[in-house]
A and B are shown apart, each in its own frame.
Chain A
Amino acid sequence: MTAEPSPQSPWQAATITRIEKRTPRVTSFWFRPSRPFAHLAGQHVDIRLTAPDGYQARRSYSIASAPETGGGVELAIERLDDGEVSPFFHDVAAVGDEIELRGPLGGHFIWEESDGGPILLVGGGSGVVPLMAMVRHRTLRNKAVPVALVFSARVWDEVIFRDELIGLDDRRDGFDLVLTLTREPARRPSDYSRRIDVRMMAQAVERLPKAPRLAYVCGSNAFVSAAADALIGAGVPAGLIRTERYGV
């Protein structure tokens, strides 16, 4: 074997600079990496926690902040009661802590201005996080791209980024928000109170000025399967649908 120069570790320390509760189960953490990086909307980072005995746990988290927001990244982390990393963030992590982070990662579930539009975003629960980065990127970068976001949550109080999303919707500048609550009545005239189905997806497509150039679906496996099938049922070609599944 030839000796190679040891490459710089892809892992780096990032400092938690701010923590903000978003919903009863989701909290946003802002990280300032020691080596700042540029990311694309939709990308994720890997987080690695190390116990004193050397045991490590790693998980991937999507970036919620737009690429234009300098100085760090926002991760919105949902508390999974049987998890080992998310409870650490919710119960232990504090501003000033250093956490090991690697990224940005991912080259498929991303949207760049050059990809064009219109785009149709479909998120379930914390699956909205990478879609939020796309919505924010579009708001800061190119409002000419029409975007519809269909966001499914169980109840009104679990709609992550709710005030910000409704504020963007109220601008009527080509961003359309559709909320669907699966366990509560709808609160706004444009919203639904049922699981995503073909008719809802067909109506979301009609909200766009022309057929979507790309559709992005993110959430649990069951959610993504149902939503992607509903999009295909509504006439969106399978080849235009990009999915990201939590795995479970």
Chain B
Amino acid sequence: MVTRGFFSGRRPPSDTDARIPPGQYLEQGFPVLSAGPTPRVRTEDWSFTLKQGPKPLKKWNWAEFNALPQSKMTRDIHCVTAWTKFNTPWQGVMIDDILADAGIEPPTAYTLALSFDGYSTNVPTKDLVTGKAMVALLYEGKPITPDHGGPARLLVPHLYFWKSAKWVNGLQFTERDEPGFWELRGYHMYGDPWREQRYSSDP
């Protein structure tokens, strides 16, 4: 349906069209969105735990985690509130390297990312491995600020950005695809921006 009198709009440059998923617009800034107050997690209190169901598989403190092999990923990111930001540079530990350090293969097909503030979000395990996702420690070469999820946040850039849990403190492998915080509140279980999977009623 064409909207009467809507012409101009903020069209992205045509050479970037192919990088902007449907319904998104290009954002130069880095907006902050979260469901509650910003937790200030001190690195001396920080830890990261791999779990299978309730059972801990391995736990790292901040120094141990930072000693793992680190990688860089520069990616376009897409927020469900309709902004897309190009070329965001992150550095952190690939999920593959976390699993390798724990000496395990992914035990189940589904994962819940867990955060210090009680947030959670579900991601299929296959979307976290083979170079697709990391626990990011640096943004633009500097420690991630608390409002962007520091000290550490999940980075799953090919899904809407609510899947990239801020203040992440663990991954829990689950037998079934269990909805997380936003997925229990009307948002999509998978969240592919290219298929515009924003809300639970989207196919």
Tell me if B54 is interfacial: C-beta within 8 Å of chain A: no
**Is B29 a contact partner of A243 (Cβ separation < 8 A)?**
no
Q: In the assembled complex, which residues on chain A have CB atoms less than 8 Å from the CB atom of B37? A: 225, 228-229, 231-232, 238, 241, 243
Tell me if A188 is interfacial: C-beta within 8 Å of chain B: no
A29 CB to nearest chain B CB (Å) = 13
How would residues 207 to 248 of chain A score, 1 for a CB under 8 Å from any chain B CB and 0 otherwise? 000000000000001000100110110000011011101111
Closest to A103 in B: B199
Which of A92, A108, A238 makes the CB contact (< 8 A) with B6?
A92
Binding-face segment, A46-54, A112-120, A145-153, A172-180: A46-54
Q: In the assembled complex, which residues on chain A have CB atoms less than 8 Å from the CB atom of B5? A: 88, 92-93, 97
Q: In the complex, what distance in Å separates the CA atom of A98 from the CA atom of B182?
A: 31
How would residues 183 to 210 of chain A score, 1 for a CB under 8 Å from any chain B CB and 0 otherwise? 0000000000000000000000000000
The number of residue pairs between A and B whose CB atoms lie closer than 8 Å in the complex comes to 109
The residues in A between 17 and 73 inclusive whose CB is less than 8 angstroms from any CB of B are 48-52, 55-60
**Is B186 a contact partner of A225 (Cβ separation < 8 A)?**
no
**Is A7 a contact partner of B203 (Cβ separation < 8 A)?**
yes
Tell me if B43 is interfacial: C-beta within 8 Å of chain A: no
Binding-face segment, B8-16, B127-135, B150-158: B8-16
Q: In the assembled complex, which residues on chain A have CB atoms less than 8 Å from the CB atom of B1? A: 13, 50, 98, 100
Q: In the assembled complex, which residues on chain A have CB atoms less than 8 Å from the CB atom of B83? A: 247
Which of B9, B38, B81, B199 makes the CB contact (< 8 A) with A55?
B9
**Is B9 a contact partner of A51 (Cβ separation < 8 A)?**
yes
Tell me if A106 is interfacial: C-beta within 8 Å of chain B: yes
Which of A59, A93, A100, A243 makes the CB contact (< 8 A) with B35?
A243
Q: In the complex, what distance in Å separates the CA atom of A232 from the CA atom of B37?
A: 9
**Is A107 a contact partner of B201 (Cβ separation < 8 A)?**
no
Q: In the assembled complex, which residues on chain A have CB atoms less than 8 Å from the CB atom of B6? A: 49-51, 57, 88, 92
Tell me if A84 is interfacial: C-beta within 8 Å of chain B: yes
**Is A51 a contact partner of B2 (Cβ separation < 8 A)?**
yes
Closest to B5 in A: A92
**Is A60 a contact partner of B81 (Cβ separation < 8 A)?**
yes
B189 CB to nearest chain A CB (Å) = 14
A217 CB to nearest chain B CB (Å) = 8
**Tally of chain A residues near chain B (CB < 8 A):** 43
B144 CB to nearest chain A CB (Å) = 15
Please name 22 pairs of A and B residues whose Cβ atoms are closer than 8 Å in the assembled complex, sorted by A. A49-B3, A49-B9, A50-B2, A51-B3, A52-B7, A55-B9, A57-B6, A84-B25, A88-B3, A92-B4, A97-B4, A97-B5, A105-B199, A108-B35, A221-B31, A221-B32, A228-B36, A228-B38, A239-B118, A245-B31, A246-B31, A247-B81
> Contact residues of B with A, CB < 8 Å?
1-11, 22-23, 25, 29, 31-39, 79, 81-83, 117-118, 147, 181-182, 184-186, 199, 201-203
Given A58-B82, A247-B33, A248-B31, 7 further pairs, Cβ under 8 A: A7-B201, A55-B9, A57-B25, A84-B9, A92-B6, A97-B4, A242-B36
